[in-house]
Amino acid sequence: MSLTAIQDRIAKAQTQAGGPVGAVTLIAVSKLQPIVRLQQVLLQGHQVFGENYVQETAQKWPALRLEHCGAKVHMIGPLQSNKVKQAMGLFDVIQSVDRPSLATRIARLAQDLGQCPDIFLQVNTGVEAQKAGILPDETDAFVQTCRAMDLPVQGLMCIPPDGQDPSPHFVMLADMAARNGILGLSMGMSADFEAAIAAGATHVRVGSAIFGARPPKFDV
């Protein structure tokens, strides 16, 4: 599906949800996609991208940013502590902050650098053992911990369990954000971004619906 078709569907979902069109940020998830596909989307004027792997981002984005200086890249994949320093030089937003040790490391480096990417906290709304994210019960305390470290907590992010109705997860995340005074809500992917917008998403992360099926992951 084309970028403009996705943008139209987002606008329609926003109108249906009663919100102003334009209030949802489309993050084009470009992990594992060939550079030519990214360039096509950049040349259409799209500026906001999502990536999952630090190494792949380091290979692709410094050169792309030279040509497209307004581009913003969001980290949406699990982040290992030993890659935080590199990640802070590559990403405008880190959406996958999911544990106090990671938050502490980002906060320390931010102090040293005098700058910090925007931060979203990832919540494991389905309490899945194999999935990253802070547990729902621990989220309010984690928000406080991050704020106490002066991290700029702009939003919450979730990836609902496969094969379940995602809407209750979107609603749960929206409730957590509201009670913590957090405005950003990153939720919804290719298969369910309209349901996420109905539940109040401010950011949707759409990959395969824009770029086509991803090639398999080798060693990135």
Ligand X SMILES: *Cc1c(COP(=O)(O)O)cnc(C)c1O
Task: Write out the residues near ligand X by the rule CB under 6 A.
Answer: 29, 31, 52, 76-77, 159, 189-190, 205-209
Give kind and range of the element (H or E) at residue 10.
helix 3-17
Q: Kindly tell me which of 12 and 179 has the beta carbon lying closer to ligand X.
A: 12
**What residue is closest to ligand X based on CB?**
207
CB of 208 to ligand X, least distance (A): 3
In whole angstroms, what is the distance from residue 162 CA to residue 6 CA?
A: 22
Looking at the Cβ atoms of 114 and 216, the one nearer to ligand X is 216
Residue 116: CB minimum distance to ligand X, A: 21
- Residue 145 or 186 with smaller CB distance to ligand X: 186
Apex 23 CA angle, 170 and 125, nearest 5: 15
CA distance 171 to 161: 14
Q: Which is nearer to ligand X, 136 or 149 (CB)?
A: 136
Q: Nearest approach, Cβ of 88 to ligand X (angstroms)? A: 19
**Which residues have C-beta within 8 Å of that of residue 195, sequence separation ≥ 6?**
166, 167, 170, 188
Q: Using CA atoms, how far apart are residues 138 and 146, in angstroms rounded to an integer?
A: 12
CB of 27 to ligand X, least distance (A): 8
Helical axes 167-179 vs 136-148, angle rounded to 10°: 40
Count other C-beta atoms under 10 Å from residue 48's C-beta: 17
CB-nearer residue toward ligand X: 29 or 84? 29
- Shortest separation between residue 112's beta carbon and ligand X, angstroms: 28
Task: Give the span between the Cα atoms of 18 and 65, in whole angstroms.
Answer: 35
